[in-house]
Every structure is written in structure tokens, then in C-alpha cells.
A and B are shown apart, each in its own frame.
Chain A
Amino acid sequence: MEWSILQQYGPLLLSGFATTILCWALGTIFSMILGLLIALVQRYAPRPVGWVIQAYIEIIRGTPFLVQLFVLYYGGPLIGLRLDALPAGLLGLTIYGSPYFAEIFRSAFNAVPLGQIEAARAIGMSEPSIIRRILLPLGLVSALPALVNFSIILTKETVILSIITVPELTYQTQRMSTETFRYIEANLALALFFWALVETISRVGRRLEKRVTRHLTERT
């Protein structure tokens, strides 16, 4: 193995890693927000709207991200949606992740005891207040482990952005391997970077979980 090659390509890999983190972070945030909105609309909207949303969820979950991204990036211009690689990648991640997040939020909201919501209704609280003060705080807490878990899964989906030429880490390591034929070093570096990212996310997630549940668990 030739580790000096990593020194040479270090800056390139680092910039790729930065792009990966950026794509992951923004993609996660956007798809989480979209998923949250979907879950809220599903909860409160009339039936037909719910069916439309359910269809969206099924379609997105039923197709590979790779295909979605192709359609968006290469098919988009046909309907006038011309995006650069990075924005297209972010939009793709947002769409791809949203139904999973929506399902996480939906089941978390369903897990909030109805009685606690009725208690709020009984004192005359409005539905927006109930959402903000009761449903969201309790729902988010119970959703947290699943949210962290799916955002970890999303780190790996960012890899696919390389096929539409987003200069993220995979893209750069591929470039390094084709230029130098150092496949092993390149892929080891790739694995190491991802491991560091995933490990960080799960650590932060565990701490967060501990923090937000500290008042909710019965001391026995």
C-alpha cells in the first residue's frame, strides 16, 4: 500500500468529505421537515388528501433512489426543471427521505396518548397550540431513535449522488482510484470517513436521546 498517495489526494478527499457532510446534513434536514409536514397533513387533512399522500409515500418508497435521481436529473430538463448537480442531489435526497421520515413521525404521533391530547382539548386549547405544545414535543422525543437511525441510513444514500457528478467523497475517491489505480487505499479512506461520520451521528443521537427523555422515564 502506498499511503503517501493519501497525502497527495488528502485535500481532494477532504473537500469531498465536506460535500458529503453538507449533502447529508441538508438532505436530512429538508427531508425531515418535508416528512414532518406530510405527517401533519396526513393527520389532519380530509381522507382524499390522505390517499394522495399515501400514494406518494408508496411510490417513493417503492423505487430505488438511483432511479429517482436519474429521473430528476436527466428527466427534469424535459419538463423544464434544469438543476445543477448539487441542488438536484439535495432535492433528490429530500424527496427520497421524506416518506420514511413521514412514517416515523406518523407512528410517533400515534404513540402520543390520546388522553393527553384530550386533556388539552378539554381545557379549550386550539389544535395549533396542541400540535406545538403537546404533539410535537412528545412525538419528537419518541421519534428520536428512529430519526437518528434513518439519518444514518441517509449518509450512505449520499454516495449515489456521485452518479450525477456531485463532487462528494465517493466521487473524489473514484477519481483518485482511476487516476492512481490505488483502489484499496481509496476505498479504505472512503470507509474510514463514513465510519467517522456515522459514529459521530450515533453518539450525538444517543446523548440527545438521554437528554430529552430524562423527565419522561419513571424513576423506579
Chain B
Amino acid sequence: MRTRQITASDGVRLAVQEHGDRTNPTIVAVHGYPDDHVVWDGAVAALAERYHVVTYDVRGAGHSEAPTQRSAYGLDQLECDLAVVVEEVSPYAPVHLLAHDWGSIQAWHAVTGDRMRGRIASFTSVSGPCLDHAGHWFRSRLRRPSPKRLRELVTQLACSGYIGFFQLPLLPELAWRSRLLPRLLGTLERLDPAAAAQPARPSLSDGLRGLALYRANMLARLGGPRERRADIPVQVLAPTGDPFVSPALQTDIARWVPDLRIRRVPGGHWLPRTRPDVVTRCTSELVEDVEHGRQARPLRRARVGGKRPRCADQLVVITGAGSGIGRETALAFAEQGAEIVAADRDQTAAARTAELAGLLGPQATPYAVDVSDGAAMEDFAKHVQTELGVPDVVVNNAGIGVAGPFAETSVEDWQRVIDVNLWGVIHGCRAFAAQMTDRGEGGQIVNVASAAAYLPSRTLSAYATTKSAVLTLSQCLRAELASSGIGVSTVCPGFVHTNITARTRFVGLNDDGQQQRQQAATRMYRRRNFTPDRAAREILRTVETNAALTPITPEATAGLVLSRLTPGLLRAAARADLTPG
């Protein structure tokens, strides 16, 4: 790290820190309140490997000087400070801005103003709006209220309550000196599960002096907002659990920012501290796009505006995609613009699905894998990650059928069906949930169980056991992964006309008997005539709404209701042998 002092236009001396090779593209990172440049330590370490990274202490914070008069903290002056720093550290090439909280408010001011036109190549904003945009946002909510807009307004007002409090004389100072405010901030930061056990303690003097930021700017900007446009590429990282800036406030800005990306990141207000890896990755992706035109899929997916298919630039992995529900799910996602990875034990079938998906949407990738093979599933997941990236949706669909009396179900039968139906789902969840959590941008996992998961039947002891295990697994995982923004859904089909009936093993029968049962079941399912494309549609809807449990087909829905209302009735019904034949 190289440190130096730079003198601002009004003589205030600012402490500036530089990292990395000066010949690389420059990223200037601006911290918020009540922080100093240290908030960037995590991100800087990684970013400096590829970029020239500059941080500085905003006037009033860290090692920079702190003028005493409030007027020295106006946004125009702060913008001027940024311009001076940029001029010093990158006199020839425009810089990429990265800013958090109050730093972001300043950066927005610079990005939407004239002074720094041509000096900023891109802007990544974390948890800080443009105050003028916020002013418009508050006003529009009041002028054209609707239940949703009012709810957003009330949410944000609750988040912004401290702003009003900061306008009061003396009381905020008292809150700082009594350590009440620092403790409150610590508590809020600890609400974020990704936070370190001991959040950074803001210094008392920074806290006190920084109050001038609020007092010098808030009322003026929010009271009389101007029209300010940003004409450079902007990406907003909007933490979903930010106690100060609600996602709605940060994301409703497309009309001022034509080249906008919004990425919702599970996490709290101090993302630069809690998830420096996410901040680093997102920032580099935008920088790489602007510098070299390499547009990563997540960046494309985050694009706002323009007419795009619903699942455009999503990566969707589906197991058992070679037939039936899996294949139709792949096609339905492809039709909505998603990029498909079609995995199946049957390589030819997977390739065919990928080919069809490619006709409806972007090019798709087939992959041959047996879901019951843990090591192969790990390899599969690694392959997907390195070749295509972390999937946004994973559908663990591969499954097989076994039916017949318990006593005639051999240990091998049990092992096979548990291996595929349960272990297959476990392996899929293990491999991909870890990737999604690491990436830190959420995701969706759908596990295909069956109505048999909650409808006991004397003829399905093995199959139903695996499926109810999948249901329980999914529900537990859903609870665990919620804080990482990863949704876990279970879908429970009833009778869907697919190849499964012709492949189900009916235990205790010779080959002829097997075949007879399979044909009879196939005829029954065909007459039932619920086609797998309809099941696929339900799966898409499940992903869209992050539903916990979706019964597919009316009998599955009715069964679910009955299982809750009159479980006794279902236990009685379970004694009937409904196997067609």
C-alpha cells in the first residue's frame, strides 16, 4: 500500500491509499458513514491483483482533515474531492468507481453531474442511492400511492428514521458519546449472518464529525430533488437485508440510468465487510465488461430495461432431463430464454434434450451423469461451474419407480431406488448449494418428489419412502439456505404420463408379469393424460414464486389437502392396492 496526502480545492488534506499496479485500470473506492477506507480492506486485497485500486478517507473521517463548518460537507464539495483524487491517481484514463453507503451518495452525485464527465468509466454502487433520485422516489410514492407503493414507502421511511434524528441538534452527538449508537449499529450488523462475530467499531470522532454529512445535504436534496441522469454503465448491488436502504429505493431508478444493472445480494448493509468476495466479483465483472467487452452472464442477467424473455441469461441445471418431466422442464426454461444444462444417465437422451432446447432458446449443454454417483456429481458440478458458471436454478428431477409388496422388495431394490431418488437429490443439493452460497447471489433449487411423499400406499413402500425423505430434506434445506437467498422448493407430481411407467420395476414378478404391469400402468397414465409439459409449467411457476411445496396434478393437490385434514382416511386408503394390471 502506498499512502499520500492530496489537497482538496478548499485546502483540506485528504489521506489517499493506493494498491496494485498503476498500469492496470483504476478503481476508486469511496467509503460511507461511519466508516473510513478500512471498510474496503477485504475487497482491496483481491481487486489489487488485477487493478490499480485507490481508496481515500472522506473529509471528516479516518486520516483526512475535518473542517469544522458544516458547509464544507456539501455534496458539491465532496464531488470536488473525488475529482481531485481521480485527477491525481489516474490523470489519463477514466476510473471505475466503487462506493458504499454515503460514499455511494457522493459517487452518484459525481456520476450524475457535469464536473466529472468523461472521467468515470463505470460505477458500482452498494447500499447508497442518489439523493435526488431518492427525493423523486419519495415524492412519486406520495403523489401516486398504491398499496404496494405505500408499503414500500413506509418500509423505507422506517429505515430512514435515523436521518430525521440526525437533523436534531445535540441528541445524535449524545447518542454517539453514550455509545448507544455504536452499539445499535453493531447489533444491526450482527443481524446479518455473514457478519463477523465482532463488527468493526466506528471511531467516535468519525461518528461525530460525519453527522455534518447529513445535516449539510439531506433536507436540501430530498426537499428539492433535481433531474439527474447517469450516462455511464452503472450496477447497483442491493442487499436484500439492508436495514437502512430498502431494495425498492435502490432499484427504482431505471428512468435516470439507461445503462443499469441491479443485483440483489442476500446480505446486510455492510456488504463490503461481510461479503468482500461478492463485491470484488461483481465489480470486476463490470470493469471487465467496460474495458474488454467481456460480459459475464450474471451481469447480463442483471440488466434492467429492454424487452427480454423471463429467464434470459439464467443458467438452469436439470437432472433426468432426457425424458418426461425433466425434458419438458428443460424445454420450458429454454423457451423463456434460459441456458440449459441437460444431465441424464442416458447420454443420447440428454443430447437430444439439449438439441431441442437449443432450438427454443440459447445453446444448451448435455451432460452424461448418474446422479447416484457422488463423485461423478461433484465432477459434474465443477464442470458446470468452470465452463458455464454457477447455476441460478437446479432441478433435481432424476428418479426411478419401484412398486410391489415390501417382503418381495430385495435389498438391491431398496438400494437402487434410495441411491437414485434420495442420494441423487442429496448429491445434487450438496454440489450446487455450496456453489450458490459461495457466489452469494442466491439461487433456486427444486427437488422433484412425488405425491407419494405424503400419500402412503401399501404398494409403494420403497418409492414413497425415498420421496418423503426428499420432501423432508428439502424443507430442512429451505430453512437453512433462506438466509443465503437460496430458495428450496419441492414439487410433488401425481400421475404424469411419461416413460416412468414403462421403466418402473414391479417387484416379485417374472419378466412377463413385469411387462404386463408396466403396460397396464402406461395405459392408465395415458388415459389420465396429464402431460409432462404441464408439470414443467408448474415447475417454472414454483421457481418464480419460490413456493415451498407444489403439488402437480389435481389428485396430488387433493391428496395434500386430505393428508392435512383427514390423515386417518388416507391411512385407510393406503391399504388398497391401486396398481393397475
A and B held together in a complex: no
